[in-house]
Structure 1
Amino acid sequence: MTSGDIAVLANPRAGRGRHRGLLSGVVQRLESAGHPVRLLAATGAEEAEKACHRAVAEGCAALVAAGGDGTVHLALQAAAERPVGFGVVPMGTGNDFAAGVGVSLDPLAAASGIAAALAGAGPVPIDLARAVGTDEEARWFGAVLAAGFDAIVNERANRMRWPRGPRRYDLAIFLEMVRVRPRLYALEIDGVDLGFEGTLVAVGNCPSYGGGLRIVPAADPADGLLDVLTALPLSRSAMTRLKPRLRRGTHVTDRRVRTFRAKQVRLHSDGIVAYADGERIGPLPLEITCVPGALRLLR
């Protein structure tokens, strides 16, 4: 890639493909910044992440993720703590990171914002979270890490081969609801032991996950802190009643829900695989750290 290009990681299948026809318009808007635009070629997640790393190493003027939170997650691994502008063109079903950092949810408007920032005001520093497991490999995330019932559902859904589409996730929820039980968590927040028995755990840099579920509604991706939410043991009926409140963020007033703010979180529970930005991170334990200003956001 020629130095000074705008490198774009685009996922045409994001958002079930409903924005696929906008990609040429997105490229035109980005070109208005005065830099050539290059689409990164990739056939899978691993190849896409490597392409992003190559683009940054070769000196691209900006790295842009055009897709949903999964596409953003892959690109973040290359842009975190690097001197490159990072743009998001939200084209997914959830777009929780874009919403959390104040990016327009209109893809063409978001592309225009990236171009204007490149040509003028420049990037805005945004915090990211870094998760490190027992393998000592760091994974960055921008929105929310889940390590409770929701992560268990994700792990089951990923193992299922039928049905396809959203129905697979719905079936996974039903199957896990039948056997929902509280788990013991070792939780350390800025060195303080807050271990508990419960059902939900989330660590957020941004407020929402799952397409607008405001699990940590007060999270601010520019305050240098992570927001942590835990829920004490919840029955199936209590979880059913609590779920509608997630969209409004009013679940945090429930007496069984606790919230904290932290620079660093250590978390462990046997048999739990954590997910962040909707992507599989790996099994607990994890050490999660807020890294202030780790991303140079163009918006």
Structure 2
Amino acid sequence: MTRAALLVCPASGKGRAARMAGTVAARLRTAVDSLDLHVASSAEGTSALARRAVEDGVDVLVVLGGDGGAHLGVQACAGTSTALAVVPAGTGNDLATALGTLSVDDVVGALCDGSRRALDLGRVGNGTWFATVLCAGFDSAVNERANGMRWPAGPRRYDLAILAELAALRPEPLVVETEDSTLELDALLVAVGNTTSYGGGIPVCPDADPADGLFDVTVVTAAPRRTLLRMLPTLRTGRHVEHPAVRTLRAKSVRVAGPGWVGYADGERVHGLPLEVSCRSGALTAVGR
């Protein structure tokens, strides 16, 4: 018998999640034995409902929302026997993409097949978990700008935020420490990837594998603005890692430090630097292919 809970984040996708909720619930009921529906009006309420569902022992927590809602679901499910499923209804939907669940039909198919994946998670020193990418520098500034934009919807919002932030771009001293090495350099951004992508499908860490027990780390060093403009088109293909201004590392644990930078994880603000993160193998059971 499969017990599931559907957690609806009604504000996701400018109300798209709320509009989809009835249809999604009906589809999910064809694949599970029981389904409880939970709707919260705030991030705090969503977090509390997610934790309550997991404490009640549901087999699967299904989040209907964007990466923000999925991030809250990760906090509740990490290190437990409850599997996380994500039905995408937000702006970026990077975790759903990584799980291969691009629609409710994908989730239903995986539930019917019993498809489960053990995923690594990142653990920040303050106790926050993340499933996709932790970033700081230029990319976290892009996140802050994109989160404050009302238009446009979808990944295009991140593209416009990138162009806007380029005007204020300047390198800052950055220290990246791993278990094997230390980088001290002037940099524009650092991304610690458990999965490949952030910002609605930008493969900032194109070779990251969420089941190998390691992070992929991408650092963009100081470079002229015109060089970065030429590099931008390669971000969507992952070819930016071939550029001389880009350094890549693989590590089990990472400490990043830089003045004035703020860390974002799964698109959510975490804390100012310095930050210490570690890769926890198999910390999350996920529904996906």
Query: TM over 0.5: same fold?
Result: yes
TM-score, normalised relative to structure 2: 0.90
Number of corresponding residues: 285
Does residue 284 (structure 1) correspond to residue 281 (structure 2)? The answer is no
- Deviation digits for residues 227-284 of structure 1, max 9, x if unmatched? 1000110222222221111111111110111111111001111111111111111111
Q: Per the alignment, do residues 147 and 38 of structure 1 end up closer, same or farther by CA in structure 2, a change over 3 Å counting?
A: same
For 1:48 and 1:18, how far apart are their aligned partners in 2? Answer: 16
Match of 2:68 in 1: 70
Report if the CA contact (8 A) 2:12-2:90 is conserved. Answer: yes
CA positional deviation for 1:110: 2.3
- Deviation digits for residues 140-191 of structure 1, max 9, x if unmatched? 1111111121112334566x6xx63349977865664333211111110124
Q: Per the alignment, do residues 282 and 149 of structure 1 end up closer, same or farther by CA in structure 2, a change over 3 Å counting?
A: same
Match of 2:58 in 1: 60
For 2:190 and 2:281, how far apart are their aligned partners in 1? Answer: 22
Match of 2:151 in 1: 165
Report if the CA contact (8 A) 1:26-1:111 is conserved. Answer: no
Report if the CA contact (8 A) 2:3-2:32 is conserved. Answer: no
- 1:109-124 equivalences under 5 Å are 109-117=105-113, 121=114, 123-124=116-117
Match of 1:195 in 2: 184
Unaligned stretches of 5+ residues in structure 1: none
Does residue 84 (structure 1) correspond to residue 82 (structure 2)? The answer is yes
| 1:150 pairs with one of 110, 134, 139 | 139
**74-83 or 17-26, which deviates more:** 17-26
Equivalent residue letter for 1:213? I
- Deviation digits for residues 65-95 of structure 1, max 9, x if unmatched? 1111111001100001111111111222221
For 1:206 and 1:129, how far apart are their aligned partners in 2? Answer: 10
Match of 2:118 in 1: 125
CA positional deviation for 1:6: 1.2
For 2:32 and 2:266, how far apart are their aligned partners in 1? Answer: 31
For 1:263 and 1:257, how far apart are their aligned partners in 2? Answer: 20
SS, match of residue 199 in structure 1? strand
Report if the CA contact (8 A) 2:8-2:17 is conserved. Answer: no
Equivalent residue letter for 2:236? R
CA positional deviation for 1:44: 0.6
For 2:38 and 2:17, how far apart are their aligned partners in 1? Answer: 18
For 2:243 and 2:159, how far apart are their aligned partners in 1? Answer: 25
- Deviation digits for residues 203-246 of structure 1, max 9, x if unmatched? 01111111111111101111111110001102222222211111
Report if the CA contact (8 A) 2:117-2:287 is conserved. Answer: yes
TM-score, normalised relative to structure 1: 0.87
Q: Per the alignment, do residues 193 and 94 of structure 1 end up closer, same or farther by CA in structure 2, a change over 3 Å counting?
A: same
Q: Per the alignment, do residues 156 and 94 of structure 1 end up closer, same or farther by CA in structure 2, a change over 3 Å counting?
A: closer
Unaligned stretches of 5+ residues in structure 2: none
CA positional deviation for 1:14: 2.2
CA RMSD of aligned residues (A): 2.3
Q: Per the alignment, do residues 21 and 95 of structure 1 end up closer, same or farther by CA in structure 2, a change over 3 Å counting?
A: same
Q: Per the alignment, do residues 179 and 7 of structure 1 end up closer, same or farther by CA in structure 2, a change over 3 Å counting?
A: same
Report if the CA contact (8 A) 1:87-1:114 is conserved. Answer: no
For 1:11 and 1:188, how far apart are their aligned partners in 2? Answer: 37
Match of 1:235 in 2: 224
For 1:23 and 1:111, how far apart are their aligned partners in 2? Answer: 14
Equivalent residue letter for 2:101? S
